[in-house]
């Protein structure tokens, strides 16, 4: 549940910040009459995310066991790739997000109403699709359709409140540090989702080694215990992972976390050419 709360909070806060920046910029530049197209784009993005999530859920329910496991494993790997790209992208652009969005909005204002709808739709839709995909894979991994959804909804609700406080100027936090810490936690969560995706592909007979266990601590950490459930919900922990799952988990977590926490190099100023 915590992992889904975290993804809902991060993705929702990104979308909330985008909407707040767009609205604040339109208001400050005297373009309040252009607000309806922005809200229309946001509504379309939210609707698309809900439809995408429904298609994943109801479409997969008609598949055979092997096909469902293959789909779940493939989408788990895809969601991990998207989340990994997202945390690195936000880490790099958090400081310059406002300037970048305002530049795009200026261009959209010059084109017309349709461009405003497209700008807000694309800005919010990406986070919505990523959230739907990650939540669906988390539901498949935990086998619980309630707590992951509740956690994600709580995260989204928190992000809306934080976005409103940002807009009102009542909340001042270092966004770069916030996205760094939450990004690091998401890398750990994504490693668990990736390992479970590998297990799904093994159950679908797409990958070998389903019976080769790396270890089995089911007696010490029963899956149905409160702490086993907690570890499962937060980190997608499995007490009896296969060797391939363990290798892939470590091969993802160690280098990705190292690269993510690596301090960014300051940009070198452009060299100036001496006059002849």
**SS3 annotation, the chain:** CHHHHHHHHHHHHHHHHHHHHHHHHHHHCCCHHHHHHHHHHHHHHHHHHHHHHHHHHHHHCCCCHHHHHHHHHHHHHHHHHHHHHHHHHHHHHHHHHHHHHHHHHHHHHHHCHHHHHHHHHHHHHHHHHHHHHHHHHHHHHHCCCCHHHHHHHHHHHHHHHHHHHHHHCCCCCCHHHHHHHHHHHHHHHHHHHHHHHHHHHHHCCCCCCCCCECCCCCCCCCCCCHHHHHHHHHHCCCCCCEHHHHHHHHHHHHHHHHHHHCCCCCCCCCCCCCCC
Taking only the tens of pLDDT, the chain with its 276 residues reads 666 777 777 777 777 777 777 777 777 777 777 778 878 888 888 888 888 877 877 776 677 778 878 888 888 888 888 888 878 877 776 666 666 666 666 666 666 667 667 777 877 777 777 777 777 776 666 666 567 677 778 888 888 888 788 777 655 666 667 777 777 888 888 888 888 889 889 988 889 988 898 988 888 888 777 777 667 766 778 888 999 999 999 999 999 999 988 876 655 554 555 554
pTM check: above 0.95: no
């Amino acid at each position: 549940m915590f992992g889904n709360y975290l993804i809902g909070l991060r993705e929702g806060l990104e979308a909330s910040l985008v909407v707040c920046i767009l609205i604040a910029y339109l208001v400050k530049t005297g373009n309040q009459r252009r607000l309806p197209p922005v809200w229309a784009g946001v509504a379309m993005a939210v609707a698309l995310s809900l439809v995408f999530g429904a298609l994943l859920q109801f479409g997969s329910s008609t598949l055979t066991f092997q096909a469902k496991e293959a789909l779940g494993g493939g989408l788990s790997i895809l969601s991990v790739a998207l989340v990994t790209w997202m945390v690195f992208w936000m880490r790099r652009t958090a400081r310059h997000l406002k300037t970048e969005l305002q530049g795009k909005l200026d261009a959209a204002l010059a084109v017309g109403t349709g461009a405003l709808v497209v700008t807000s739709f694309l800005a919010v839709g990406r986070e919505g699709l990523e959230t739907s995909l990650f939540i669906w894979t988390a539901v498949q991994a935990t086998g619980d359709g309630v707590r992951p959804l509740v956690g994600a909804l709580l995260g989204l609700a928190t992000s809306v409140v934080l976005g409103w406080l940002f807009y009102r100027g009542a909340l001042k936090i270092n966004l770069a540090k916030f996205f760094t810490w939450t990004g690091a936690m998401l890398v750990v969560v994504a490693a668990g989702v990736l390992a479970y995706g590998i297990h799904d592909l093994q159950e679908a007979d797409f990958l070998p080694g389903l019976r080769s266990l790396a270890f089995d601590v089911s007696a010490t950490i029963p899956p149905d215990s409160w702490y086993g459930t907690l570890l499962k919900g937060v980190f997608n922990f499995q007490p009896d992972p296969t060797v391939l799952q363990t290798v892939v988990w470590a091969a993802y977590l160690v280098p990705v976390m190292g690269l993510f926490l690596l301090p960014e190099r300051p940009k070198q100023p452009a060299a100036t050419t001496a006059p002849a």
